[in-house]
Amino acid sequence: MISLYWLKLRHIFSFILTKIMSFVISLARQKVNDKNILFVRLDSIGDYILLRNFFQFIRKDERYQKYKITLCGNIIWKELAEYFDKTVFDNFIWLDRQKFQENIFYRYYFLKKIYKLGFEVAIDTTYSREILFGDSIVAISKAKERIGCTGSIDNSAKWKRNLLSDTYYTKLLVSDNENLFEFYRNKDFFEKLLNRKLEIERTCIDVPNISFQLPTQKKYILIFPGAQYENRIWKPENYAKVIEEIFNSTEYDVIITGSSAERPLAEVIVNFAGNSRLFDLTGKTSLIELVKLVSGAKMVIANETMAVHIAAAVKAPFVCISNGQHFGRFNPYPEEMFEDGYYIYPEEISDRIDQFQNLTKEYRFEAIHDINSIRTDKVTKLVRLVLSQIEERNK
């Protein structure tokens, strides 16, 4: 209770401090650069994968063809954007979310940089807008046209946005209250922004001929044991049991991967399922190499994380172990978008999977079910089924 109280006080203080910073910064004279547009998107890697293909329509639109386009993005996916989308954007500005939140000097100089660049148009494409991040950056831009969306109904922050930050925008595109899969949510935003229907059906990453030395020359299955949030992490011991079953029943090799922060998880798996056919690349690949690695896998097995979104974008079959949080918005993948994405949930959800619309309402924002209630035998059964379908298809 006390920690929650102090957290609320911290948010209030942070908001007031940012307002003071913005006021001080805006006292300086600003030169607005016409035909200069800023896009703001500061969430996670998976969010960017579900968004990035829509920026091509901005580049091709008659209204914005002569504009210089700058992307203000989350630094964690800098490598992806600068490699795969360098022809879409003229400039990039990268924000470290932790520093922006905790370091007042970093925040001040970042906001000052945005202000001095003098954008004519600033657009935050985020559905779940954040007052401290995207909203504050759009506000300090002082752009003649500042566009966002009305935002998610979920959130406890909804009333705060209505009261405090909706006024930062000159135009708010009305978002549908229906629980849409995030790709379709982005599509809705860009169609309203450009005032036309967009011909796009799925995410896509064109994987170039990246030079990357695989640890095996055999067909492999890729394992991502990590996730951003602890309640989305299936125990590494469970992954080890699935890997042992793969070794016992197939000829596939297995590669474990993820960020360096996930090495402890990988170490547990290696200790339990160590085998000459098991290779650990955790923390040893760049994001670009990771995309290449996913594209070559016969199957990806992962918690609900960026891995499944990359897999769908490069058409790699995947099995996702999920606790069901954000059901309908980020999981499961609609079949018309990607038919080779398979999900396994706790029984509280899997036993009612035919009640799809009810589940999207119930778990739209939160799921409290224990992901580790999902039994390994159910996962191995699904893995065997998917592998057999893949083999049958490739005959």
Lowest mean pLDDT among 18-27, 130-139, 206-215, 216-225: 206-215
Residues in a beta bridge with 331: 327
Query: How far is the C-alpha of 337 from the C-alpha of 366, rounded, in Å?
Result: 24
| Fold category of 28-194 in CATH | Rossmann fold (3.40.50)
Lowest mean pLDDT among 113-117, 273-277, 357-361: 273-277
74-101 tens-digit pLDDT:
999 999 999 999 999 999 999 999 999 9
**Residue 159, helix vs strand vs coil:** helix
For the chain, what is the mean pLDDT?
Answer: 92
What is the structure's pLDDT at 208? 76
Residue-range domain boundaries for the chain = 28-194, 220-393
What would the mean pLDDT of 34-54 be, rounded to a whole number? 96
340-374 tens-digit pLDDT:
999 999 999 999 999 999 999 999 888 999 999 99
Q: How many residues does the chain have?
A: 395
What would the mean pLDDT of 301-314 be, rounded to a whole number? 97
Residue listed under structure tokens 């003229």: 90
Q: For the chain, give me the number of helices (H) and strands (E)?
A: 16, 12
What is the structure's pLDDT at 10? 73
How would residue 214 be classed by pLDDT, with cut points 50, 70 and 90? confident
- Nearby residues of 100 by Cβ (< 8 Å), 6 or more positions away: 106, 107, 110, 132, 133
pTM: predicted TM-score of the whole model, two decimal places: 0.93
Query: How far is the C-alpha of 181 from the C-alpha of 158, rounded, in Å?
Result: 20
Name the token pair of 373: 């209630």
How would residue 1 be classed by pLDDT, with cut points 50, 70 and 90? very low
- Asked if pLDDT for residue 392 goes beyond 60, the answer is yes
Query: Which position has the higher pLDDT, 34 or 311?
Result: 311
Nearest by Cα to 294 from 49, 48, 41, 42: 49
In 10 A of CB 228, how many CB atoms? Answer: 15
Please tell me the CATH code under which domain 220-393 is placed.
3.40.50.2000
Crossing angle of helices 263-273 and 236-249, in 10° steps, is 40
- Asked if pLDDT for residue 3 goes beyond 80, the answer is no
- Which amino acid belongs to residue 353? I
Query: How far is the C-alpha of 382 from the C-alpha of 375, rounded, in Å?
Result: 11
CA-based Rg of the chain, rounded to a whole angstrom?
22
- Nearby residues of 69 by Cβ (< 8 Å), 6 or more positions away: 37, 39, 55, 58, 59, 88, 89, 90, 91
In 10 A of CB 128, how many CB atoms? Answer: 19
What would the mean pLDDT of 98-112 be, rounded to a whole number? 96
Question: What's 327's DSSP letter?
Answer: B
What is the structure's pLDDT at 217? 85
Nearest by Cα to 119 from 81, 85, 161, 91: 91
Query: Which position has the higher pLDDT, 31 or 7?
Result: 31
Share of the chain above pLDDT 70, in %: 95
Q: Judge whether 28-194 and 220-393 match in fold.
A: yes
